[in-house]
Structure 1
Amino acid sequence: MALVTNPQAIDSAASAAAAFEAVANKPFPTDIFEAPQLRWAVIGCGVIANQMAQALALAGRHFVAVQNRTRSKADAYAQRWGVERVYDTPEELYADPEVDVVYITTPHNTHIQFLHGALGAGKHVLCEKSITLNSEELAEAQAIADKNHVQLIDGTTILHMPLYRGLIARAMAGDFGKLNLATLNFGSYKDYDPNNHFYNPKLAGGAMLEIGVYPVTLARLFLVSQPVDVISICNACETGVDVTSGIVMRNAEMQMATITMSLHSKQPKRAMLSFEDCYVEIMNYPRADRATITWTADNRREEIHVGEEAYALCYEVADLERAVAGDAVEDAMIAYTTDVMAIMTQLRRQWGVRYPEEEGLA
């Protein structure tokens, strides 16, 4: 029997590489960047920072400045991606008058320090997930953004993919009937190492902040209001961080969402949105550009393709630039981030999963 490779089983890095390859020889869409172009800098030179540079290159754009804890890595990044200026410290980057936006890609337990610096310096910020460790940090960051009249945008891809904007518009228009249940899976297999960022509490490890932000965000986007009932069970590892969990949420409208996630068991990244008149299935949902709608009355299937996976990070850039230009929809998206962070913070506290930075919080 021939071995059949499951395309859903490839890891996120391989998926991103395949997506970039698929559009390499295609013209960049003319309808992604509509607002005035801003000048972007990046802090951190890891995988996601390289993916963003590659995504911007598709549009003929590049970062104007970079800063990284290790100068040699920043120099190599600048050479690879044509970045004009390399800074030794974040403060030097914040002081650059030719930087409008800072893209933060460092480990998530360091985000708040960079958010304080960049927002306090009057820079707009796109911050990678998880945007902060908890609700208290997010409220701090948002207060600084409001005080300085700058935009703070969450880099969770689900908030920016055109597929979800289209599906939500149809749901709000009543095309699907009421949403009754959202069922979401997200499982990865990471070898256990108490010192790596997946399992180390000193690096804010654990499934919730590493992968949970995706299913919680997707559920919240389609629930018409914030859940009021959140119950769960969690398995933790010996370092004390969460590894596997099952979560059930319900809002005042009696809509429910169930989430299973794990860092130690591979699952397909599968979302099922069950409405009164149909169900919507989405695979590899963090950067999805396709969905299948099955209409329950006659089992008719409707295939949808909106946007492109390869441009996932470009959509984030475009949304921030629209927010800066005054787009009310983009400006309001931080409210979803606030709700998602509240859920994640509540769940971790139910489980007793706390990080060193959270000592003293209620």
Structure 2
Amino acid sequence: MTTLNWGIMGLGNIAGSFATYFNQPDGQIYGAASRSLEKATAFTQQYHIPHAYGSYAEMLADPAIDIIYVATPHNYHFDGIMASLNAGKHVFCEKAITMNRRELNAAKALAAEKHLILAEAMTIYHMPLFAEIERQQVAQDLGALKSIQVTFGSFKELDPTNRFFNPELAGGAMLDIGVYALAFARRMLSAKPELIATQWVPSESGVDQQSTLLLNNAHQEMVTVTLNLHAKMPKQGVLVYEKGYVTVDDYPRPDKAQLTFPDGTTQIIQAGDATNAMNYELHDFQEVVRSHQENDTLALTSDVMDIMTDARAQWGFVYPFEQPSDLI
């Protein structure tokens, strides 16, 4: 089997984590690029990567590279995605995949035109636990899914100069942590939800500090999402079925959950290995690339982006580098 060669675009902390845990027998990290050759060389030496590039264009011009992992700050994702697709590379992009629905639709259209695979690096769509929960829903006769409650709160200092609260760097809770909460909900819902109502609290810098969202879909599966970027909250999702509920802690990379029955008895559901979370998604992505099949997780990513865009439109929150029409 031919080895798939990966190139890394953007060499921050998340790229270091990617290089550390990458473990695919039929794939390898072939190169890494930065705007500085010195920085790229230091990164490739640290992680034993064979090729360093002093510009993104240089890496994209290398015919040996099959896949680009976009690990730049998310306000630069769109440019990196489009450049990579135009260079004939498949793209695996960090979250949030783009800033808004308009950007994602443009990227999807280009990927389709070029017959290339585009996907968001969202572990939630690939963790074995979630398929096991769905199996247990049937095996334990839990009945229909009725509602989902999701929370995510992270305490960050209210410093407008850091990326979390800087509007010029696309700061705010929605694109930073809300994407996880909404991806969890969408993964477990049986159909796309619509945004019914939302409230937000802006920070002094103008980005979203706190918000709540209420969603519903055609099957009357209701979702409540609570986000906060200045208060610690559990990364917890609760799936409420007719005959029990399942609590999933640390849902971005979980390998166990607790099922609670109406009489109060509990049962642990386990599947997969949280420490290997990244490699589940890498394996699945490579399988799609090899098979030239449609990437079904991109539809989930699109549904989440629609909700995030609709919420910001209702708030009237537009980043300085966006136009109000970007949120239509």
TM-score under structure 1 normalisation? Answer: 0.85
Aligned letter for 2:229? L
**Structure 2: distance between partners of 1:172 and 1:239:** 47
Alignment correspondent of 1:317: 282
Q: Alpha carbon RMSD of aligned pairs, Å?
A: 2.0
What is the CA distance between 1:36 and its match in structure 2?
A: 6.0
Contact 1:53–1:62, Cα closer than 8 Å, also in 2: no
Q: Is the aligned partner of 1:156 residue 2:122?
A: yes
What is the CA distance between 1:236 and its match in structure 2?
A: 0.2
**Structure 1: distance between partners of 2:313 and 2:175:** 13
Alignment correspondent of 2:270: 305
Unaligned runs of 5+ in 1: 1-34
* Partner secondary structure for residue 252 of structure 2: helix
**Structure 2: distance between partners of 1:172 and 1:82:** 46
Contact 1:232–1:245, Cα closer than 8 Å, also in 2: yes
What is the CA distance between 1:240 and its match in structure 2?
A: 1.2
Q: Is the aligned partner of 1:354 residue 2:318?
A: yes
**Structure 1: distance between partners of 2:15 and 2:178:** 21
**Structure 1: distance between partners of 2:43 and 2:52:** 9
Equivalent residues in 2 for 1:162-181, closer than 5 Å: 162-171=128-137, 175-181=141-147
Which residue of 238, 242, 246 maps to 2:204?
A: 238
What is the CA distance between 1:156 and its match in structure 2?
A: 1.7
CA separation of 1:172 and 1:325: change in aligned 2, threshold 3 A: farther
CA separation of 1:278 and 1:360: change in aligned 2, threshold 3 A: closer
Percent identity of the aligned residues?
A: 39
CA separation of 1:347 and 1:166: change in aligned 2, threshold 3 A: same
Moved more, 332-341 or 71-80: 71-80
Aligned letter for 2:4? L
Q: Deviations over 1:312-361 (max 9, x none)?
A: 11112111111112275x72111000100000000011111111232251
Alignment correspondent of 1:5: none
**Structure 2: distance between partners of 1:68 and 1:292:** 43
Alignment correspondent of 1:338: 302
Alignment correspondent of 2:29: 63
**Structure 1: distance between partners of 2:169 and 2:163:** 5
Equivalent residues in 2 for 1:109-188, closer than 5 Å: 109-171=75-137, 175-188=141-154
Alignment correspondent of 1:274: 240
How many residue pairs match? The answer is 326
Alignment correspondent of 1:326: 291
Aligned letter for 2:33? Q
Unaligned runs of 5+ in 2: none
Contact 1:36–1:325, Cα closer than 8 Å, also in 2: no
Moved more, 248-257 or 260-269: 248-257
Q: Deviations over 1:264-291 (max 9, x none)?
A: 0001111110011221111111111111
Alignment correspondent of 2:159: 193
Which residue of 270, 274, 289 maps to 2:255?
A: 289
Q: Is the aligned partner of 1:105 residue 2:71?
A: yes
* Partner secondary structure for residue 82 of structure 1: coil
* Partner secondary structure for residue 293 of structure 1: strand
Alignment correspondent of 1:226: 192
CA separation of 1:175 and 1:43: change in aligned 2, threshold 3 A: farther
Higher strand share: 2
**Structure 1: distance between partners of 2:282 and 2:24:** 13
Q: Deviations over 1:231-257 (max 9, x none)?
A: 111000122110011111111221111
Aligned letter for 1:323? V
**Structure 1: distance between partners of 2:2 and 2:243:** 41
